[in-house]
Structure 1
Amino acid sequence: MKDSTALSHEAQTTTSFYPHADPINAGACWYLVDQAKHPDVLRLLFEHDPAPVYDLPYIHSQYREQAFDGPLIIKPTTSQSEKWLHNLLAEAKTLSHHQRLRVLGPLTAIHGCYAGTNWSLKKDHSPAHPTEAKEQNPLPLEVTQENLAFVEVYRRDLLAKGLADNNKLAAQTVSCWFQQLTTLGASSEQGLVEGAGLLIAQGFTRALSEADLATLRKTRQRAYWSDTLDALATLTHSQDGT
């Protein structure tokens, strides 16, 4: 399947996505909120703004039935709603250049904050033929398996960093544990947290050695994660001075 956005004049437009230390500009004119993530946002909007200005983009498309589960565009009219919307800003990254063009649409920039990091998604140049670009009918934004895999890795990195910070460990150490625990049979984030928690309780501060992994693999023959956890709880580390 060909990407019609990539074939259009809009493909000549470049985009940039980057994290930055500067705080988000609170003077944004419009806010885009994902109702799937914030299902109560429309009700809360009326609580913060007696006469809100908003739109439900899907209600004007073939996705009308999903209008109240899709994007909501809001223009704050009071300082209270502006502050509330500013606090709601949160988006994820993973997208390709042409996917970013679809996300931006007619907008020139979107700014957000995720996991304490500010970011900006910007359209760097206008299309050479804006009228012709508007006439294009690109396919809806599609999330690929690569996008989903990137999100999974990003989530695990955040989880590893949180565990490391809470236990005064190097984030790289916990990330390495996660990789090792995955090879040992951890199939969920809960399993990773359980395994890492046992290693922390046992006093481990470095990645598991080959000898440790060999001991744990013996319990993998039964393929029960609970057996691996039992083995982790009795694993003795000998990393001091090594």
Structure 2
Amino acid sequence: ARQLAAHPPRRSVLFVSFGAEELGLLGSSYLLQHFPLPKDWVVAMVNLDMVGRPKKGPALTLGGYGTAKEWAELIPKLNRNHHLKLTTSAGGYGASDHSSFYSAGVPVLFFFTGAHEDYHKPSDDAEKLNYPGFARVVQFAADTVKAVANLPERPTYQKVAQEEGPRRSFKVRTGLIPEYGWEGRGVKVSGVRGGSAAEKAGLQAGDVVIKVGERVVHNIYDYMYALGDHQPGETVPFTVQRGEQTLTLPVTFEAGGGGKS
């Protein structure tokens, strides 16, 4: 914000801190329904969600890469000055507030550095933040915002082909913590919450979930859609790759996902 104030770009930039994201994107949905300016003035939404503990690189997952045709040229150009280890995902839907804007026809970019074993725990304390990596990711985000705000024309919205709509209000949860920076097939398990359905089923950090029930899991989005297929109390086989082994672990879904996994 200080950088933008010192050198104002062509377009205005609105900083927003959303509430009630995990109850179903309530804050971002409300803003879009009660926007203080004409909504067609919004040319893009850049979302930072969990960027404080990047892994070595620093590694950054960038969602929404396919939601504007300009991103494929702009982002690599900007990263030449930052040298981040980028993983991109084309889709504009996902487990955060950018989904609301993408649904409203706004190009998005979602900055995310991955889940960790302290996610949603009291142990997620400030001293565990990777401050140097955090600063590099935030500066990259700031430069991205400045570049977008200075584009001569508004970014061209693109609807990503073969992408399902958001299914945030899950009725179930497992306690599995995904490793969002995973670049392989399936969903890699970063950790499991103590006492959760995932822990009771025997899932472990390092496992890769490749199938939930009858749904093949290629990525985190497939996994989220799979949660929407089921009801609390239902026991569903999770097909898991653990090293060289392929295991089938029965997971009994807990109630009350509210957007959690």
TM beyond 0.5: no
From the two aligned structures, give the one with the greater strand fraction. 2
Considering only CA atoms, is the larger Rg found in Structure 1 or Structure 2? 1
Scaled by the length of structure 2, what TM-score is found? Answer: 0.28
Scaled by the length of structure 1, what TM-score is found? Answer: 0.29
